Structure 1
Amino acid sequence: MQGKRVVVTGGTTGIGRAIVRSLASQGARVVTLGRDENALKDALDAMADLPGEVHGIAADLATREGVERLFAEADVRLGGVDALVSNAALGAEPIDEMADDDWRYVVEVNLVAAMAATRAALARLGKGGQIVIVGSISAEIHAPGESVYSATKAGLQGFAETLRKEVEERGLRVALVEPGTTGSDMQEASDDEQREEIAKARMLRAEDVAEAVDFILSRPPRVDVVTLRLEPRLQELP
């Protein structure tokens, strides 16, 4: 990972923050984005002493301006992009329990923004470049209460698997990571409750997902990780 130039979306909290920390701990140069100024500052301060570099901006990835600002920052700070980790996502309620603007915003962040960030990365990636899209097993299990969330993750699944075939002739690789239940700020459970679930093997740690991303990004060019699904040993299924 030493010197690898990586853009990570949603890297200020939860899984994204664990991904940024892991990459920077191995010497990668990272630019990330989060919506909250305070969360961004906290993340950057916490990673200031790592071997790699971590830069970030506060912006809304669901807007064209947010995507443009993120990659403009990467151009300036990194001088290019070797990999994109598309991770930013929001949780959601059943569609009939959400205001119209709210469920549409979840779709914009989880699906449209991921596609827009991927498009911006493709304009910058050279041969050997990588795209890792963080999806969810919700694309497969279709749990009650996750109609909006599952739809976005199923969209990402189809996008990633099709995009891989579209760019393979350019020497680019696209991988999809589908985690099961993972401890993060997206969970309704308290931090103590999440620690208990992790101890009981009913929930993954954010760092488990970060290690999966590390594995993908560190494979030699001959290896193409298409889909990597990981679950806690006692994943609860509907």
Structure 2
Amino acid sequence: MRGKTVLITGASAGVGRHLAHDLATRGAVLLLHGRDRDRLERVADEVADRAEAVRVYQADLGDLDRVRDLAAHVRQDVPALDVLVNNAAVGGGADPTVRETNAQGYELRLATNHLAPYLLVRELRGALAAAGSARVVNVASIGQLPLDLDDPMFTRGYHGVEAYCRAKLAMIMGTFDLAEELRGQGTAVNALHPAHLMDTRMVRHGGLTPATTVDAGVLPTLRLVADPALEGVTGRYFDRFDEARAHEQAYDPEVRRRLAALTGRLLDGTPAARTGEGADRATRGTL
């Protein structure tokens, strides 16, 4: 990894922070993203003496306009991007009954956990291609629930944890689609479940009891980033170190087609299913 350029979203805490430390010892050029400037700067200071170079990028990835801004800054700063780790996420929330939306009016978990990483890959595909052999690692979850594409914004019977699990399945479906789209362009795209209920702010904020350490999730993620044995492997879902099968809906071609069409419309700015039962409770959220 010496000299390779790696962008890690959600690098100010949890798996992102630990991964930054590990890659710094390997001499990588680190592009660190976070929403909280102070925490992000602290991580940058922690790794600066070991990494080849460090840059920081503050952005709320719940806002798709800020995702585009982030990509534009990265394209300006580096000629090529060897690795993109889409690690930033929004969990179920402290009160999972509260439905949140982003700046564009989209359900927050779908926007942050699926649309944002998908858009970031799309916006950075040129920089990834310029690396010659790039990798995209989407940090997903074993917690996956089927999408309701008749109500993609989850306006009926909302629950934050279910919204998170739906969005993570959407992320995995997007991984498969992007892998096919970028096949032959030198960019591999894979997703993984790093570890179960790691001791992170997101888990504790959601009122859950951690079951594993953050370190337990770093090694499986690092493997997808750096293992030479995975060169050229693309379009796969891993449960920690093992290739696994995602929720069955991820292999339904009609669902995949409908999700891809919806994703395209939303990223192009066409709203979908933003009103309905419970919409009056919607509030803008942040990453």
Question: Shift of the alpha carbon at 1:119?
Answer: 0.8
Q: Does 1:12 align with 2:15?
A: no
In the other structure, the counterpart of 2:203 is: 187
- The total of aligned residue pairs comes to 221
In the other structure, the counterpart of 2:240 is: 230
What is the CA RMSD across the aligned residues, in angstroms? 2.9
Is the CA contact (8 Å cut-off) linking 2:29 and 2:51 kept in structure 1? Answer: no
In the other structure, the counterpart of 1:208 is: 216
**1:144-176 CA deviation, whole Å, 9 max, x = no partner?**
962111011010111112222222222321111
- Pairs within 5 Å for 1:14-163: 14-93=14-93, 97-101=97-101, 104-126=107-129, 127-139=132-144, 146-163=161-178
Question: Shift of the alpha carbon at 1:105?
Answer: 2.1
Question: Shift of the alpha carbon at 1:228?
Answer: 2.0
**1:57-88 CA deviation, whole Å, 9 max, x = no partner?**
22112234422332333334433211111111
Secondary structure at the aligned position of 1:123 is classed as helix
CA distance 1:169–1:105, change in 2 (3 Å): same
Question: Structure 1 length as normaliser, TM-score?
Answer: 0.81
- Opposite residue 214 of structure 2, the aligned amino acid is A
Q: Distance in 2 between matches of 1:22 and 1:168?
A: 29
CA distance 1:3–1:139, change in 2 (3 Å): same
Q: Distance in 1 between matches of 2:57 and 2:23?
A: 18
Q: Distance in 2 between matches of 1:178 and 1:151?
A: 14
CA distance 1:107–1:217, change in 2 (3 Å): same
Question: Shift of the alpha carbon at 1:35?
Answer: 1.1
Runs of 4+ in 1 over 4 A off after TM superposition: 93-96
* Structure possessing the higher radius of gyration over alpha carbons: 2
Q: Distance in 2 between matches of 1:214 and 1:99?
A: 33
Q: Distance in 2 between matches of 1:59 and 1:131?
A: 19
Secondary structure at the aligned position of 1:186 is classed as helix
- Opposite residue 8 of structure 1, the aligned amino acid is I
- Opposite residue 224 of structure 1, the aligned amino acid is V
Is the CA contact (8 Å cut-off) linking 1:164 and 1:175 kept in structure 2? Answer: yes
- Structure 1: gaps (5+ residues): 232-238
Secondary structure at the aligned position of 2:144 is classed as helix
Question: Structure 2 length as normaliser, TM-score?
Answer: 0.68
**1:28-61 CA deviation, whole Å, 9 max, x = no partner?**
1111211112211221122222233221122112
- Structure 2: gaps (5+ residues): 148-158, 242-287
Range with greater deviation from structure 2 (164-173 or 214-223): 214-223
- Opposite residue 55 of structure 2, the aligned amino acid is H
CA distance 1:165–1:101, change in 2 (3 Å): closer
Q: How high is the sequence identity, in percent, across the aligned residues?
A: 24
Q: Distance in 1 between matches of 2:64 and 2:160?
A: 30
